[in-house]
Amino acid sequence: MSYETVIGLEIHVQLATETKLFCGCSTEFGAEPNTQVCPVCLGMPGVLPVLNRRAVEFALRTATALDCTINTRSVFSRKNYFYPDLPKGYQISQFTEPVAEHGHLDIETSEGTKRIGITRIHMEEDAGKLLHGEGAEEDSYSFADLNRACVPLIEIVSEPDIRSAEEAVAYMKAMRDIVVYTGVCDGNMEHGSFRCDANVSIRPVGREKFGTRAELKNINSFKFVKDAIEYEEQRQADLLDEGGTVVQETRLFDSAKGITVSMRSKEEAHDYRYFDEPDLLPLVVPGAMLEEVKATMPELPRAKRDRFVSEYSIPEYDAGVLTATRALADYYEAVVKETKEPKASSNWVMGEVLRVLKEENRDITDCPLEPKRLAELVTMVKGGKINSNMAKEVFEEIYKSGKTAAEVVEAKGMTQISDEGELVSQIDSIIAANPDEAERFRGGEVKLQGFFVGQIMKATRGQANPQIVNKLLKERLKG
Amino acid sequence: MSITNESIHGLSHRLANKEVTSVEATGQFLERIKAVDETVNAYITVADDHAIAQAQEADRRLSSGTNITPLTGVPVSVKDIFCTKEIRTTCGSKMLENFIPPYDATLITKLKAAGAVILGKNNMDEFAMGSSTENSAYSPTLNPWSTAHVPGGSSGGSAASVAADECAASIGTDTGGSIRQPASCCGVVGLKPTYGRVSRFGMIAFASSLDQAGPLTKDVEDAAILLNVMAGHDPADSTSIDAPVPDYTASLKEGVKGLKIGIPKEYFIEGIDPEVDVAVKSAIEVLKEAGAEIVEVSLPHTAYAVSVYYLVATAEASSNLARYDGVKYGMRLDPTGNLTDMYRATREAGFGAEVKRRIMLGTYSLSAGYYDAYYKKASQVRTLISNDFNAAFTKCDVIVTPTAPSPAFKVGERTEDPLTMYLSDIFTISCNLAGIPGISLPCGLSKEGLPIGLQILGRSLDEETVLRAAYAYETATEWHKARPKL
């Protein structure tokens, strides 16, 4: 039978705040275990949480970017369960009244633009991390690292609007672009800053009613989301085809084997005994805070891409590459502002700049070549002051040295020779020095033009303007 | 010269006049503890060295004449529920037998800043769950008036330490009457402030939406002096109220002329001890003679208060006590190396019977399928109880009731009967559910020679009027001067 897949994603976004959600400890990744902890995030007796204002701002920013309805009053709840990485024995989360609801995100699919509904966004604290000892059964210990405990997260829950692994990946990518663009998340999937759970079910094509879903846990790469969903679609289809039934359960994706394995069934699911967190007052977002968030919202990736195409008349492909990150887009716009040459600037940024950054494994945010110096180079090329081969050499130099293009060109004596009188005398002496070649050219061997150009370039140390050389050569060789 | 029977203001006066030093006063209290605490068992930990060091520091302040408060050099005790840096904090539980907090509760910081000397940590019902201090893992506290009787609870150690002159005053906590009921049993003054008036940071949680710290003192003026130090917004406690703190001693002596005192008919019920009934009714007469106007009020949802309380408080407790899992601090038993076994063994051995009973009750009322019928319904009725008080306070300024239905009961009398035990708090619980302030002060002695307490409840954040009414009653009577013969 042929089936349709129905997917809803729950994306966990770690907010890029300096400090944790309910205490002043650092959120920086990679510190020695249990060095970024205090009585509050260790859940010591008597301690109380105090909400991080910045985390609220970030949640509101994300909600705004996703066109959500923001609940000016939301409530924190306790989600109760025992686990050694959860110091208090409960996670402070939001349940009945989340910070935002009813949003959407448009994604690009092979069949065009598709709108995916956002059910809700809620704020919560992360748990710590367990490291399991390698020893034999009886002397192996597990160790708890609580640096991550209490780090702020938002969970973004989608409607079951996604219909394929491809769409799920597109949705996840678009979401990541948004949270990175709005500055609320570093987007680092390896560190777990951006990860998702996927609810996957299938139903025979044409049927309204949803099938029974499996929840796939903790997927932290685009590839894994694709692999996990595709595996799960097939597993469920095989089950149904064999006359079996899908059971509601939580499954873990094993990325090494590319399969999902059962973790716990619906019957074994926790009863989290949610109730309102009595240690925190309901979160009431002041009108002024909401206005400030709206006023300071950055342009989102999609809007920026569209604007680049219309404002700069560059191809959609270029716009897509240049708006991949906010920093790159800003860089490009700073270059264009100086050069007023959108396409030439795009070629330079997408070409040389991205190439050298990639070689050096650097990010645009720490590119040593400022947009202004690159702009000067682009302008020199466009104005015919230097040719493009020279320009590449100059680029290397200004990228490494911090000098301006003018300084490099000056120092190397690279200024392009476009003066026809000067070039004519050069050309004439080259023709004179190579009478045989001149004769053969005149006899119809036109490819020898390249030979003469090369000789002239050599004589002028590359400074001759090639277009003018070509034009003049034809005239002088006719002799 | 013996100073252990002095009030805070009495001792403060003597310290200021250099009649005694803080080191001498502290020494006397430590001697007194040594002499009587084997009998009373009001302390779990006596912090001699810390206390003497604090007294020396206080003496330096007193002799230099700078930075002196009414608490400077005054030896007090605190319930063992407040985290004290470098001093073990057990909360009356085996679970925290060796727990030494790396931080001070905000309240402790405030006491230290005021120059108070902290003598030690008072005995209590485990995790503040109880009405007799018999649920302590460190043996029960006995009532200084009669060692056959309980001191009330859960702040029984605090109340007994004040009554037995083992400190000038003490700080307790009140979740359903845990300051007022033992104050009543031990013949001292106990004030539960408005919820949020005093920071809860560093105070080990039992039921977060109800817990509130307050003073237990030898007289009403001392309660006002301590509240001056304790009250105020704390950025570390999001539920603490950011409202100005008045000087609670300023309006103390203004009398009750014209004050409307409400008497809720639901509180004078069958089953109330006749001696209590008589004592409280004559206290009302005293207030009337002092110029107060007596009005009858109604608090119609009073009958549900105990039920609501035991659903809300246990639900919160079941969650608050989840952190005692053997992983991070406190007791750990790990018989097999298996996680579930570690949790089970640790919590089985670390918690006493009453704590386990309440964790089970609270877990049940929050569970899927029961939440709506229990926890949710209880929260709704809680609002009705709160509304009752709001309505009553449109007709009166304070409400006067008995603190407890009877004087202190006998040791062991109710330990096998939790429900009867729970009814010890029948008159104090509504106040916590509504978040309003309440005080208990001595208003009589039973034929057996046991103290009887008068409760005065006030509007939210109106501790001033509560204290003023209490002070007026106290000055018109001699009950607060009665002392146990220990």
Write the CB contacts of B304 (distance below 8 Å, at least 6 apart in sequence).
B381, B384, B385
Residue A217 neighbours by CB distance under 10 Å: 18
Q: Are A456 and A443 in contact (CB under 8 A)?
A: no
| Among candidate residues B176, B177, B175, B171, the one with its CA nearest the CA of residue B157 | B171
- Tell me the C-alpha to C-alpha distance, in Å, between residue A99 and each of A68, A70, A298: 10, 6, 20
Which ranges of A403-446 would DSSP assign to H, the alpha helix? 405-412, 420-433, 435-442
| Among candidate residues A403, A368, A408, A371, the one with its CA nearest the CA of residue A391 | A408
Question: CB-hemisphere CA count at 13 Å for B284?
Answer: 21
Please give the single-letter amino acid code of residue A395.
F
- Among the listed residues B12, B93, B154, B440, the single catalytic one is B154
Residue A436: pLDDT band (50, 70, 90) is confident
What pLDDT digit, counting tens, does each position of A331-351 carry?
999 999 999 999 989 999 999
Residue A233 CA to its chain's centroid (Å): 27
Judge whether B439 is closer than 8 Å to chain A, CB to CB.
no
Considering only CB atoms, A275 lies closest to which of B99, B237, B315, namely B315
Judge whether B337 is closer than 8 Å to chain A, CB to CB.
yes
Residue written as token pair 């400030």: A292
Residues of B in contact with A80 (CB under 8 A): 318-319, 322, 366
Higher per-residue pLDDT: B11 or A381: B11
Q: Are B287 and B256 in contact (CB under 8 A)?
A: yes
Maximum distance among all Cα pairs of chain B, rounded to whole angstroms:
70
Write the CB contacts of A349 (distance below 8 Å, at least 6 apart in sequence).
A322, A328, A331, A332, A335, A374
Whether residue A136 is predicted with pLDDT greater than 70 in this model: the reply is no
Residues of A in contact with B327 (CB under 8 A): 84, 87, 144
End-to-end CA distance of chain A: 80
Residues of A in contact with B208 (CB under 8 A): 278-279
Which ranges of A263-387 would DSSP assign to H, the alpha helix? 287-295, 301-312, 316-322, 326-339, 342-348, 354-359, 371-382
Strands B169-174 and A90-94, bridge-based pairing = unpaired
Q: Where in chain A is the domain with CATH 1.10.10.410?
A: 420-478
pLDDT at A452: 85
Judge whether B230 is closer than 8 Å to chain A, CB to CB.
no
What pLDDT digit, counting tens, does each position of A274-330 carry?
999 999 999 999 999 999 999 999 888 888 999 999 999 999 999 989 998 888 999
Considering only CB atoms, A275 lies closest to which of B201, B337, B375, namely B375
Interatomic CA distance for residues B46 and B111, integer angstroms: 17
Q: Which of A48-52, A362-366, B143-147 shows the lowest per-residue confidence on average (mean pLDDT)? A: A362-366
Taking CB atoms and an 8 Å limit, are B322 and A42 in contact across chains?
A: no
Taking CB atoms and an 8 Å limit, are B316 and A48 in contact across chains?
A: no
| Among candidate residues A289, A215, A273, A331, the one with its CA nearest the CA of residue A81 | A273
At the second CATH level, the architecture of B1-486 is Alpha-Beta Complex (3.90)
pLDDT at A422: 79
Q: Are A14 and A126 in contact (CB under 8 A)?
A: yes
Is residue B257 part of the annotated active site? The answer reads: no
Question: CB-hemisphere CA count at 13 Å for B460?
Answer: 13
Judge whether B316 is closer than 8 Å to chain A, CB to CB.
yes
pLDDT at B130: 95
Taking CB atoms and an 8 Å limit, are B328 and A44 in contact across chains?
A: yes
CATH number of A420-478: 1.10.10.410
Question: Which of the residues A25, A271, A275, A280 would you substitute to probe the B interface, choosing the one with the greatest number of B C-beta atoms within 10 Å?
Answer: A275
Residue A249 neighbours by CB distance under 10 Å: 18
Quote the DSSP letter at residue B444.
E
Residue B470 pairs in a beta bridge with: none
Q: Are A227 and A255 in contact (CB under 8 A)?
A: yes
> Nearest chain A Cα to B370, which residue?
A273
Taking CB atoms and an 8 Å limit, are B322 and A87 in contact across chains?
A: no
Average pLDDT estimate for A437-466: 82
Taking CB atoms and an 8 Å limit, are A50 and B236 in contact across chains?
A: yes
Is residue B132 part of the annotated active site? The answer reads: no
Residue B429, token pair as written in the block: 């619980």
Give the minimum alpha-carbon distance from A101 to chain B in angstroms, rounded to a whole number. 24
Give the minimum alpha-carbon distance from A146 to chain B in angstroms, rounded to a whole number. 10
Judge whether B208 is closer than 8 Å to chain A, CB to CB.
yes
Interatomic CA distance for residues B314 and B30, integer angstroms: 37
pLDDT at A135: 63
pLDDT at A282: 96
Identify the three-state secondary structure at position A191. Answer: coil
- Among the listed residues B7, B12, B77, B79, the single catalytic one is B79
A119 backbone dihedrals φ, ψ, rounded to 5°: -70, -50
Question: Which of the residues B327, B355, B379 would you substitute to probe the A interface, choosing the one with the greatest number of A C-beta atoms within 10 Å?
Answer: B327
Residue A467: pLDDT band (50, 70, 90) is confident
pLDDT at A363: 82
Interatomic CA distance for residues B17 and B10, integer angstroms: 11
Taking CB atoms and an 8 Å limit, are B101 and A275 in contact across chains?
A: no
Interface of A with B in 256-315 (CB under 8 A): 271, 273-275, 278-281
Considering only CB atoms, A46 lies closest to which of B204, B207, B238, namely B204
Residue ranges, chain B, pLDDT below 50: none
Residues of A in contact with B203 (CB under 8 A): 46
pLDDT at A479: 58
**What is the gyration radius of the CA atoms in chain A, in angstroms?**
31
Question: Which of the residues B88, B89, B104, B201 would you substitute to probe the A interface, choosing the one with the greatest number of A C-beta atoms within 10 Å?
Answer: B201
Write the CB contacts of A231 (distance below 8 Å, at least 6 apart in sequence).
A253, A258, A259, A260
Instruction: Concatenate the DSSP letters of all residues of A221-288 into one string.
Output: SHHHHHHHHHHHHHHHHHHHHTT--PPPEEEEEETTTTEEEEEEETTT------EE-TTS--EE--HH
Give the minimum alpha-carbon distance from B374 to chain A in angstroms, rounded to a whole number. 12
Please give the single-letter amino acid code of residue B456.
I
Is residue B154 part of the annotated active site? The answer reads: yes
Judge whether B374 is closer than 8 Å to chain A, CB to CB.
no
Please give the single-letter amino acid code of residue A119.
T
On the question of a cis peptide bond just before residue B154, with omega within 30 degrees of 0, the verdict is yes
pLDDT at A455: 84
Q: Are B89 and B50 in contact (CB under 8 A)?
A: no
Residue A164 neighbours by CB distance under 10 Å: 18
pLDDT at B345: 97
Identify the three-state secondary structure at position B24. Answer: helix
Interface of B with A in 84-143 (CB under 8 A): 89, 91, 96, 99, 101-103, 105
Write the CB contacts of A196 (distance below 8 Å, at least 6 apart in sequence).
A9, A10, A11, A12, A172, A219, A220, A225
